[in-house]
Structure 1
Amino acid sequence: MDIGTAKKAPFWWDAVDAKVTRPALGGDTEVDVAIIGAGFTGLWTAYYLLEHNPSLRVAVLEKHHVGFGASGRNGGWCHAEYPLGVGTLAKEHGTAEAIRFMRALYDSVDQVGKVTELEGIDCHYAKGGVLTLARSEVQMSRVAAEIEEARHLGIGEADLKQLSAGEAREMLNATGILGGTWHPHGAAIQPALLVHGLASACERRGAVIYEDSGVEHVSSNRVETRHGAVTATMVVRATEGFTSDLPGLKRTMVPLYSLMVATEPLSEAMWNELGLHTRPTFGDFRNLIIYGQRTADGRFAFGGRGAPYYFGSSTDPKNDIHDGVHAELVRVLHELFPQLADITITHRWGGALGAPRDWRPSVSVDRRAGLAWGGGYVGDGVNTAHLAGQTLADLVLERQTDLVTLPWIQHEWKSWEPEPLRFVGINAGLWMAKAADRSEERRGKPSQWAAIGNWMRGKTR
């Protein structure tokens, strides 16, 4: 498996018109709600605003094209998970509130599926759940800890099941499996098809999407672009990994890069040997995250962390490609599935996800300033952005629903450190996560490097 001939673009984009196809803003205008960013957060917000109030004037301003950011590049995991785990939610907000939040995420996965069916969006939605493998005794100890925590919080086997080695291997025939977990609250999707289909659904409901309309300044009830300004009763910021590009927000959220590869389609005989028959998404319990899915056309789409943080929160397109990290992803894929040794890698790409200093996603509104925002998903954004969009719509419209009292509402993010401390700390934390995995593989014991590295990257529980 060589990366040399792989196309340097998201595999998902082959199925859509991944370029600017809509006009830019054509001068000053006035609307009820202006949304910055045509990714999942922004588009779901527009969708639910217009579902609840079809007469609203809603404009979406996108710097590039629909789905340019993480929404069109991710691993296609529409799953119910919180970046720091349900246990952290319980410690900070109490068990009842933690479970209420998780139930909202569970419902959100199903609601995404319902909307795709209602709107005729064929994004290859397959609710096969989420499989997490344990491939060492250290990883098995993490399985035990996760199950113990879940049971303590009242999460039963129906929502998180521990798997024996045989049960896990029956789902996915990877090497070295000792056990794992599976939960049903996840679906594999084709993210570019979803985000483009969602954009069309918003337009059918009356939203106007302006592409090639990067926002240069945001103030109360007003956004400015090089093509003109938009005045709005409410401005919604839905910029996630590109938040640091906006004036005054350089330290609010950092762009962390996650990279992916896709293989050529595999034969049915090979899939009969490998599994993933119901298309569960999969990963394992290592420190440096990996993630994958079986695509609808029979490929592996596989990704992971490991890319460096770039100085000054850079989101330069050249950051999407990293030969060393892409080669390492292929090595890990081959380690998991030696049968793929002669399979061609057809695509390789990357993209920026958004990470606040404390790794806690949030949805917030400042009515006096006429501003609302959502994000900070740290890679768990496909489903969480849907819940955020539902919630932002309710907040903007002042609807009194259960969503507007969930424990992530109005969370205040701490600022990231200034450079060069940010650069040194995040990359040192990344190095420590890699070192922890090497140490655990060599010594067979949990490594303290992981905890130190998580703290330096902001991932504290």
Structure 2
Amino acid sequence: MNARVPLSSGFVNGDVSFWYRSSGVPEPGPRLDGDLQADVAIVGAGYTGLWTAYYLKKARPSLRVVLLEQEFAGFGASGRNGGWLTGDLAGSHERYGAGARRLQREMYASIDEVIAVCETESIHCDVVKGGVVNVARTPAQANRLRASMAAARAWGIEEADLRLADPAEHVRVAGALAASWSPHCARIQPAKLAQGLARAVRDLGVPVYERTPVTEIAPGRAVTPYGTVTAAYVIRATEGFTARLHGLRRQWLPMNSSMIVTEPLPASFWDEVGWRGAELLGDMAHYYMYAQRTADDRIAFGGRGRPYLYGSRIDARGRTHEWTVEALWRLLVDFFPAARSSSVAHAWSGVLGVPRDWCSTVHVDRATGLGWAGGYTGHGVTTTNLAGRTLRDLILGEETELTSLPWVGRRVRSWEPEPLRWMGVHAMYRLYRVADHRERSMPRTSALARFADLITGH
């Protein structure tokens, strides 16, 4: 690793994520052993699959629900994310249309729903509803922040939901010119939530077959090397790993996101920067960051790094390029110069699913029994819960407030074939990096960033 990044003596790169260090990476459970019949087969034991199984069994205990997972429950983004249980929509209000206001309210309510289930099921995942701060560190970013506030008001997001804040009110970030504050966000420890949900689902009688990759999904069946599960409904809950399935390589783009975490920081550091609670922290840059203060007083700090591998390939074990680790460290100490005395304890990466229009979707085709949810674009910790409850209602054939939300049944065109896909994504993020640099001396958003948005429909 580059000598410019101080690494702790026990530094780890990859090995899924830091979130498993306290408990150890789980040993996968039993795999499927022969053909099986079920009412609902769910492919993928991340948050989407686990929430769907949980709500189905709670609603209809007699249902035979089966989960199929190629590694172990929580192996993907569910065990690697930044721990933001946020009310932000995946995608823009405009693209969801008139129903976006209801969808936004359901997202806010889903935060409290997750917290309530954690209490009911004794899932100890360090959850604290501390809200979220977004900072602007250049005049252009400050103007974007104010514009986003005006747009939020137009969509019914009130002062109590989102407001301008003094840059020093919650967290003192070096160079912050403006800030916003929303109470609709909670910190979690992602792996603890995933493992707790897996336990709750098993306790409800749902078998979770791990080390069981699904090679084909078709009406009425999910095929694995060890047997076929036949079911009236087969639900795809594979998010960033969807591109591995036959015929779905261009469905959702597997976007890489990377994180580093520091060693525990002393009380003097937290007093100096004013970060006294469990607020989540983001910014208004195009090449944006996200961070949390962990339960054991570290900073977990994330960003895009190397965003996309050619051909929708995935580095499944989470190892992170040293350039990315260095870039994240530089940005962290730029935000918090007092953190220079610390060191990096762990670095890792994961993939999230990005649809061509950057908006999530949930769907069940009752004629074929095939369904899916995903394309969360990095907002999946909360959105998966709403997806699980919506899939429950769609599978059970119930017309509810959830089944009429505007993300239900949305169809989006596929991503372009290679090399256009690789060229477009890398051009987009290169333009964003240059735009962020130029905006240090500009009062308005760079035209390069607007062009990047145009390229990929962001």
Calculate the TM-score normalised by the size of structure 1: 0.95
Q: Work out the CA distance in 2 between the residues paired with 1:231 and 1:457.
A: 38
Residue 404 of structure 1: SS of its match in structure 2? coil
8 Å Cα contact 1:259/1:320 also seen in 2: no
Q: Secondary structure at the match of 2:373?
A: strand
TM-aligned CA deviation for residue 380 of structure 1? 0.7
Match among 65, 71, 76 for residue 69 of structure 1 = 76
Residues 358 and 457 of structure 2 are in contact (CA less than 8 Å); yes or no, is this contact kept in structure 1? yes
Deviations 1:367-406 (A, max 9, x none): 1111110000011110001111111111111122100000
Secondary structure of the residue aligned to 1:306 is coil
Match in the other structure for 2:281:
282
Matched-pair identity in %: 43
Q: Indicate which of 1, 20, 31 corresponds to 2:38.
A: 31
The match for 1:144 is 146
Q: CA deviation at 1:319?
A: 6.3
Residue in structure 2 matched with residue 344 of structure 1 by the alignment: 343
Name the SS of the counterpart of 1:392 in structure 2.
Answer: helix
Give yes or no for contact 2:144–2:445 (8 Å, CA) kept in 1: no
Matched to 1:68, the amino acid is: F
- Number of corresponding residues: 451
| CA contact 1:16–1:196 (8 Å) conserved in 2 | no
Please tell me the residue identity of whatever aligns with 1:371. Answer: L
Q: 1: distance between equivalents of 2:156 and 2:363?
A: 29
Q: Are the counterparts in 2 of residues 283 and 290 from structure 1 also a CA contact under 8 Å?
A: yes
Gaps of 5+ in 2: none
**Secondary structure of 1:428's partner?**
helix
Equivalents in 2 of 1:280, 1:233: separation in Å?
43
Opposite residue 162 of structure 1, the aligned amino acid is L
Equivalent-residue separation in structure 2 for 1:153 and 1:380 (angstroms): 19
Would the alpha carbon gap of residues 386 and 318 (structure 1) be closer, same or farther in structure 2, given more than 3 Å must change?
A: closer
Are 1:163 and 2:165 matched, yes or no?
A: yes
* Deviation >4 Å, runs of 4+: none
1:105 aligns to 2:107 (yes or no): yes
Partner of 1:7: 12
Deviation (angstroms), 1:243: 0.2
Residue 257 of structure 1 contacts residue 320 of structure 1 at CA under 8 Å; is this kept in 2?
no
* 1:177 Cα offset (Å): 1.4
Letter in 2 for 1:103: R
Residues 221, 231 of structure 1: 8 Å contact kept: yes
Task: Give the secondary-structure state (helix, strand or coil) at the position aligned to 1:35.
Answer: strand
How far apart, CA to CA, are the structure 1 residues paired with 2:226 and 2:31? Answer: 7
Map of 2:202 onto structure 1: 203
Q: Is it true that 1:43 corresponds to 2:50 in the alignment?
A: yes
1:21 aligns with 2:28: yes
| Contact 2:8–2:263 (Cα < 8 Å) also in 1 | no
Aligned to 2:293: 294
Within 5 A, what are the aligned runs for 1:28-427?
A: 28-86=35-93, 88-89=94-95, 92-94=96-98, 97-164=99-166, 168-317=167-316, 320-427=319-426
> In 1, Cα distance between the equivalents of 2:228 and 2:321?
37
- Find the counterpart in structure 2 of residue 451 from structure 1: 450
8 Å CA contact 2:220–2:232 kept in 1: the answer is yes
The offset of 1:39, in angstroms, is 0.3
What do residues 284-339 of structure 1 show as CA deviations (whole Å, max 9, x unaligned)? Answer: 10001200000001000000113131111001336641111111000000000000
Distance 1:457 1:320 in 2: 27
- Which amino acid in the other structure matches residue 11 of structure 1? F
| Distance apart, 1:444 and its partner CA | 4.2
Any idea what SS the aligned residue of 1:317 has? coil
Deviations 1:229-281 (A, max 9, x none): 10011001000000000011011011000000000111112112223322111
Q: Distance in 2 between matches of 1:147 and 1:402?
A: 27
Instruction: State TM-score, norm by structure 2.
Output: 0.96
Instruction: Kindly state the Cα deviation for residue 3 of structure 1 after the two structures are TM-superposed.
Output: 4.4
Distance 1:394 1:276 in 2: 41
How far 1:17 sits from its partner (Å)?
Answer: 4.1
In structure 2, do the counterparts of structure 1 residues 318 and 39 end up closer, same or farther at CA, with 3 Å as the change threshold?
A: closer
Q: Distance in 2 between matches of 1:318 and 1:80?
A: 29
In the alignment, is the contact (CA less than 8 A) between 2:8 and 2:345 conserved in 1? Answer: no
Gap regions ≥5 residues in structure 1: none
Deviation at 1:359, TM superposition (A): 0.6
